[in-house]
Amino acid sequence: MEKPPSRRLVLALIAGSTLLALAALEFLVRFLPDAQTMLVEPSSIPGVGYQLVPDMTACSMHGRFHINKWGFRGPEYPMEKPPGTFRLLALGDSVLYGDSAKENDVTQSLGRLLDAAPPKGFERVQSINTSVPSYSTCQELALLNGLADKFSPDLVLVGYVMNDPEGARVPFGLDIATGRIAWRYRAYHFVKQRLYLVKYVVAKLSPLVFRLRGGFKQFGPAQNPGRTEDYTMAIHDPQGPFWPACARCIEGLGEYQRKTGTPVLFAIFPLLKSMDFKPLEDAYRQVERTARAAGLETVNLYPEFAKLTPAELSELAGDGVHPSEKGHLFIAQALQRRLAARPAMMTGRGRYKP
């Protein structure tokens, strides 16, 4: 009669089999497009909260992007601006970052359009995209004052998306005001950013957790919080918890423009999955009024997209939030037309007077 295996051996076999199964799953999950993600880390810049990890390849469902040593997507330029160079600097969230564009995001496309015929007195145009997914207007202002302005931009492009007032959706338990992160979240951050299996499971559970927490109701009052239009109106409520802070940061962009003499082009991106303008008209107009009152040249891109046929819109709309690569070029061309009509914005840093 054979002696039954010891309990230790059984436990060791179970543990070994489990580890092998998890290792196999980890290997397989790495090939799933929706398991890809971007890596972030705490930022030392007050008010920014987090930043992309420098010198890495960031991934999304739409492609892979190089993150340079400054923590920005795209070409790496020295902080000191070469003579004869006109610098375009972009600030935004995942839309202007170009989450859905493999190569030709708005910033690079606009930079190339301008570089084809550089502004008078300049030999070339460099475009720097400092946008980071999920950034709010206030984080963008903090980044501009804390780091981005050191690149001496001649023109600042700010991309405003209609969910910007909700503020920063800061990952990993990070306190945006102090930049500190609790130890338990540090451990979670360490594991999650190295194991794709954990990322994948978290991504799949997040929608369930969101619903259990109350869904869109947690963001503010609305007649039908599940509708994009009602949610957007709720976070733009002048008496609500979100819009007043956002409005102050838009005013802060105006203060930056006056202080540095650097023009700020404030572009309002439409919700491409909700092209019915009427329900959101008050919110769009409110953002426009606030930006113009701050002295910013303001472009509402909604009318540009509204001219398109349904077939054309479908080709440019991407996933309904992030424009396709053709959509990015379409936006860049619209911005180029506005700049061509405002030559004073192309005269260089320190010379602009709105």
DSSP state letters, 268-279: EE--TT----GG
pLDDT of residue 234: 85
pLDDT of residue 231: 80
Bridge partners (DSSP) of residue 125 are 86
Cα separation, 207 vs 291, in Å, equals 34
282 Cβ contact partners less than 8 Å away, ≥ 6 residues apart = 233, 236
Q: Residue for token digits 């398109």?
A: 308
Would residue 28 count as lying in a domain? no
Would residue 3 count as lying in a domain? no
Would residue 14 count as lying in a domain? no
| Whether 98 contacts 328, CB under 8 Å | yes
pLDDT of residue 345: 97
What CATH number should be reported for the domain holding residue 146? 3.40.50.1110
The number of helices, as runs of H, and strands, as runs of E, in the chain is: 12, 9
| Whether 262 contacts 154, CB under 8 Å | yes
Would residue 96 count as lying in a domain? yes
Residues 46, 49, 55, 60: is their CA dihedral positive or negative? negative
Residue 149 CB neighbours (<10 A): 17
Would residue 4 count as lying in a domain? no
Would residue 193 count as lying in a domain? yes
Bridge partners (DSSP) of residue 58 are 65
Q: Residue for token digits 């000191």?
A: 80
Packing angle, helices 281-293 and 243-260, rounded to 10: 30
| Whether 354 contacts 263, CB under 8 Å | yes
Q: Residue 60 class from Cβ within 10 Å (0-12 exposed, 13-18 middle, 19+ buried)?
A: buried
Closest-CA residue to 250 (of 353, 350, 159): 159
How far, CA to CA in Å, does 331 sit from each of 87, 107, 272, 322?
A: 19, 10, 12, 12
pLDDT of residue 173: 47
H or E element at residue 44: none
| Whether 324 contacts 315, CB under 8 Å | yes
- 3-class DSSP state for residue 336? helix
| Whether 232 contacts 163, CB under 8 Å | yes
- Enclosing domain of residue 133: 35-346
Strand ranges for the chain from DSSP E: 40-42, 50-52, 56-60, 63-67, 85-91, 124-129, 155-161, 264-269, 297-300
Cα separation, 266 vs 177, in Å, equals 25
Would residue 298 count as lying in a domain? yes
Amino acid at residue number 235: I
Residue 139 structure tokens: 């984080």
- 3-class DSSP state for residue 316? helix
Cα separation, 85 vs 153, in Å, equals 10
Would residue 26 count as lying in a domain? no
Strand 63-67 versus strand 56-60 pairing type: antiparallel
The domain total for the chain is 1
Q: Which residues of the chain have pLDDT under 70?
A: 1-3, 29-39, 59-63, 167-194, 196, 199-200, 202-227, 273-277
Does the predicted TM-score (pTM) go above 0.95?
no
Closest-CA residue to 163 (of 119, 239, 219): 219
Residue 269 structure tokens: 């991106």
